[in-house]
Structures are given as structure tokens and as C-alpha cells.
Structure 1
Amino acid sequence: MTEVITLYDGYSVMTGKDRMSANCSCTLVKGVNNIVVDTMTAWDSQKIISALDRNNVKPENINYVVSTHGHSDHIGNNNLFLMAKHIVGFSVSFQDEYHMHPFDKGEDFKIDENVKVIPTPGHTLSDVTVIVTSKPSGTIAIAGDLFERFEDIENPNIWLEAGSEDPVQQMKNRSKVADLADWIIPGHGPKFQVTEQIKQTLQKQVGPETPS
């Protein structure tokens, strides 16, 4: 059985005119392969080790680390996991060896029967999302900053103001992931359930004539 455990919910709060407090969601996938998705800031190593320990997992038990993109709050503790293969955005590596997977051509990276990594550019041009089939929860999308948090469904300014290198692609991929998933773990907020209304809202935001 594949289990998805949110170790920490992400957050993002403006604390001044030019300052913010932010960290990403950090997720553990336990199954045929143990996977950590997004490793928070470089100051969070002990938090991650402690959270893994509460789930009876040690860093050396992790088979894959997936950073949904390369921003500092998503890669800060990748070096805790030296036995793991690392996927950072479109880059797949182990030690100094790099595997040229064609994410840029739209091809998914299959980790096992229940887990795949799909390209979802927008926030950055090399963003990825982890799609997990988990019983009894259904399909869970660990989406990084493709979604900032639940509130950005109705208020797209939230994700636009967080930064988007390609807003058109991001809108399309937000709708695509919502159509695939029963639940979404966003980059900077708690997990939320995907409803039919959410799917329709995201599709309307894309619109029928959005250019590629």
C-alpha cells in the first residue's frame, strides 16, 4: 500500500512591505519506494529528520527525493538523502550522473506502479508534480507551487503574485492536475480536496481559446 503523509504544511505570509515568511509543504510517500517531496529551507534539517523518525523512516531509507522546482525553500535539505535518486524540476540525478529524461517533451517519469512525476511548467519552466495513487484516499497530486494554496482557486492573483514564468502554461497545468487528482497538496498551504466546482473554475480560467 502506498501512503502519503504531509510532514509539514507550507505557508507564505507577508510580514512587512518588502518581507515575507515562507516555507514549502514537505511530504513523505511510503510504499514500494520511499519518497520525500520538497525538502524545505536549509534551516529545517532537524525538523525533517524528526518528522521522518515519527514515521519510522530514516534518511537512508529514502529512495527518491523530488523537488518540484529549484527554489531555495524546496531544495534546502536534499543533501540529507545521499542514498536517493534526486529529481529537481526536470533534472534527474544520482551523485554526479544525470539522466536526460524528456520532461520537456511532456513525458512522465514513472517511479513505480503508484507514483509518477509529470511535467507541469508555469511557476518555473521546469516545474513538476508528483501523482500518487493511494488507497483509500484516491489520487493525490503533490503539486509544489503550481498551486500556492486552496484560496488561489478563486483568487488567481495569489499564484500570479507569487511569481509565474509562464502564466498561460500554469493555468493549463493547474486545470490538468485538478482533472487527475482527488486531493492536491499545494506548495504553501494544507492539502485540499478537488471538487467538481474546482475543476470547472480552473477550466473557465483557462478558457477555450487559450493559445499554446
Structure 2
Amino acid sequence: MSAPKVHVLVDGYSVLEGDGKSMRANCTCSVVEGPPHIIVDTMTAWDAEKVLQGLSSLGLQPEDISYAVATHGHCDHVGNLNLFQAATHVVGTCVSRRDVFTLHDFDSGGTVFPLFHVLQSRQTMQQSVAPVANPALLPWFVTPLRPSAEPYKLSEFVDVIATPGHTSEDVSVRVRSRHQGLVIIAGTACGTVAV
């Protein structure tokens, strides 16, 4: 198996509007070129053509994607998951393929009932997460938040790790690439900043 390469299909953005009461925002959409091929954060439902054009530029079609990962469940990250019907979907810490859900515990390495997992994650998040404004906290995105956390392995070189922060169910995709080194695809790498 060859080492993967990460491609950004569409750059994300977040801009506060002049009235200060609304913002324009969308996530970054990325592809990990494998095998397996993995798409991360599929943008809003109005961005299907951008996603399809980006895939086409790499010689890929939706049916070539083995995993579709949404780093969390907000609408700008899950809008085009329906394009990837042949893929296993990872939405935050929920893993499914069709109507089969994998009970993977991102927190402790064991399998638990998902409701308990959600409650445990929220409690752990409140106790463990500090503001990311401190650059010393950047390794938080490189390793699982807790030493006992269990990554969800997608391949020899790619796994999904719990990185609660923006939401309690946030995950990031950790890629070990021969060409690019260690790459972390985080759905939200910064918080809201008042200016």
C-alpha cells in the first residue's frame, strides 16, 4: 500500500458580515488520495458541483471514495455526504455504512452504548479542553486528547481521532504521508475571536 497524499479541493472561509449579525462561512473540503480514497468535510448542500469538480480534477468519482468523513455534524460539513453512497460515513464520532452503525468508542478504546459516549465526551471536554489561542496547545490536534483515546483506523497511514472543541463530537483526520509528513485535517482549528 502506498502512502497517501492530501489535496485541498475547496478552501474554507469564515467572514463576519458588516452588520455584525451574520457571517458567510463554509468548510474546507479535502481528499486523502489513497487507496483508500477519503473525502473530508463535504461542504453545504449547495456546493455539490464544487465537490464533484474537485474530485474530477483528481480523476476520481464519488463511487471511488471509501470513506466520507465529516469532522462534525454542522451543515457546512455534511451537505454532500449523500453523493458518497459506496463509502463508510464518519460523522464526528458516529461511524456508519447504510443502516449499520459501528460502535467505536473514541474516548477510552472500548465499545460503549453511543448515548453514554456522548455524555462522557461532553463531560470530558469541559474538564480537558483549554483555549486553543495558546500555541503550546497545538499538539492537541496531533495526538488524541486523552492517552487512552482509541483512533478509528481507516488505513495503515490514516486514522480518525477525537478532538472535541468546536463541538463535543469533533474529530480530525490524521494522515502520515511520505510526501507531506504528518498532516492533520481539522474541521475547526480556531475558535471565534471578537475583534
Give the TM-score range, shorter chain.
0.7 to 0.9
Question: Which residue is equivalent to 1:90?
Answer: 93
Within the candidate set 66, 69, 75, 2:69 is matched to 66
For 2:90, the aligned partner's letter is I
RMSD across aligned positions (CA): 1.2
Within the candidate set 51, 55, 67, 1:52 is matched to 55
Tell me by how many angstroms 1:104 deviates: 2.9
Structure 1 unaligned blocks of 5 or more: 149-158, 163-212
| Maintained 8 Å contact 1:38/1:75 | yes
Distance 1:24 1:160 in 2: 15
SS at match of 1:113: coil
Within the candidate set 98, 101, 106, 1:103 is matched to 106
Within the candidate set 134, 140, 151, 2:177 is matched to 134
**In the alignment, structure 1 residue 22 sits paired with structure 2 residue 22:** no
19-28 or 103-112, which moves further after superposition?
103-112
Tell me by how many angstroms 1:161 deviates: 4.5
For 1:48, the aligned partner's letter is V
| Maintained 8 Å contact 2:27/2:77 | yes
Distance 2:42 2:63 in 1: 15
Question: Which residue is equivalent to 1:7?
Answer: 9
For 2:41, the aligned partner's letter is D
How many correspondences in the alignment?
Answer: 151
Distance 2:71 2:39 in 1: 11
For 1:66, the aligned partner's letter is V
TM-score, scaled relative to structure 2 = 0.75
Structure 2 unaligned blocks of 5 or more: 109-148
Tell me by how many angstroms 1:32 deviates: 1.9
| Maintained 8 Å contact 1:90/1:104 | no
Question: Which residue is equivalent to 1:34?
Answer: 37
